[in-house]
Structure 1
Amino acid sequence: MKLEKKYTSLASIIKKHKVANISAVEACFSILSTGKKIDKQCSERLSDFRLSEGRFMVLVLLFEYKMLTPQEIATLSGVTKPTITSLINSLVKDELVNKTDAPVDGRKINITLTHKGQVLIHKIFKDHSRWIASITQNLTDSEIETLIGILNKMFQLKED
């Protein structure tokens, strides 16, 4: 795994000063470099459709649930309501989603896919999902289970 330049430089300095286990440092930097590479490729793939990961997530949630409020979208995607509001507004501008007043409570807004949004998400959802799965294509099922176990174990860190 080729580390990003900043991690190579930092690892070299840490190794020189012998302040931490260099293998542990390089393992962490490998994870960070891999994550950044995945994020970059994901961003590039989605940008072909004028989507960010956040905008894609909104479309996927609407594809699955058909109609949601901004608060429900924020909860399901794990981001703040102001972030979702911004994403929804950009999707409305691009005619991918509709905003309508809820019939029971006019203070609430329902978000749904437009026909254009449905066509787009149907076009890219399966392919993008398969691409995500392909990231681990060189691993066996057992290795994937081990990787998940290791990553989960790493994040059971003690809080300082």
Structure 2
Amino acid sequence: MSAKQDKISELALELGLAMGEMKSRLRQKIQSRINEYDPDLSFELIEILGLLSRNDGINQQEIGCKVSKDKSSITYLINALVKRELVERTENKNDRRNKQIFLTTKGKETVDTIYPWALELYGKAADNISETDISNALLLVKKMTSNLE
């Protein structure tokens, strides 16, 4: 690799580490607020509820891909959400083996309660950063992610 490519690789590494640190801090702060609301809910469960609030009716495999969890972990997490009556599994009309996951009314209420807390924290993270800078960063991260596929 050239010296320029080495520098770009080092910067990409630093960006990845910084994004990981930001996610970790946000996760800790969100989990702290969740614990006040319901100590039995984890960040992973809330992450799935949030995903379903934007993509209700997707299947377990799609959920696993979007939250970067393996099949057994997703099954465990979905089972926990079903047990708490926050989501329900429904057979897909075209493929009975394929279960779609939907938020229940209780699940929607939970999302409606917790989502503003998450937005508040993301707003704090974005304080004094322009919309353009955030949009450019988002495009950059999406491009870097697609380069890995």
Task: Please tell me the TM-score bracket, short chain as reference.
Answer: 0.5 to 0.7
Q: Which residue of 2 is the match for residue 119 of structure 1?
A: 109
User: Greater CA radius of gyration, 1 or 2?
Assistant: 1
Q: Distance in 1 between matches of 2:24 and 2:48?
A: 22
Q: Distance in 2 between matches of 1:71 and 1:56?
A: 17
> Equivalent residue of 2:76, what SS?
helix
Q: Distance in 1 between matches of 2:78 and 2:37?
A: 16
Match of 1:40 among 6, 23, 28: 28
| Cα deviation digits, residues 92-117 of structure 1 (max 9, x gap) | 01000001222221111111011100
Match of 2:52 among 31, 45, 62: 62
Across the aligned residues of Structure 1 and Structure 2, the Cα RMSD in angstroms comes to 3.1
Q: Distance in 1 between matches of 2:63 and 2:21?
A: 30
Is it true that 1:101 corresponds to 2:81 in the alignment?
Answer: no
With normalisation by structure 2, the TM-score equals 0.66
Q: Distance in 1 between matches of 2:103 and 2:118?
A: 19
Q: Distance in 1 between matches of 2:101 and 2:48?
A: 10
| Cα deviation digits, residues 13-51 of structure 1 (max 9, x gap) | xxxxxxxxxxxxxx9xxx687765443222111223332
Q: What is the deviation of 1:70?
A: 0.3
Q: Count the aligned residue pairs.
A: 122
Gaps of 5+ in 1: 1-26, 156-160
- In structure 2, relative to structure 1, the CA distance for the partners of 1:99 and 1:122 (3 Å cut) is same
Q: Distance in 1 between matches of 2:54 and 2:25?
A: 28
Is it true that 1:90 corresponds to 2:100 in the alignment?
Answer: no
- In structure 2, relative to structure 1, the CA distance for the partners of 1:36 and 1:70 (3 Å cut) is closer
Q: Which residue of 2 is the match for residue 71 of structure 1?
A: 61
Q: What is the deviation of 1:129?
A: 1.5
| Cα deviation digits, residues 76-127 of structure 1 (max 9, x gap) | 2222121111110100010000012222211111110111001111222133
With normalisation by structure 1, the TM-score equals 0.62
Which has more helix, going by share of residues? 2
Gaps of 5+ in 2: 1-13, 145-149
- In structure 2, relative to structure 1, the CA distance for the partners of 1:129 and 1:100 (3 Å cut) is same
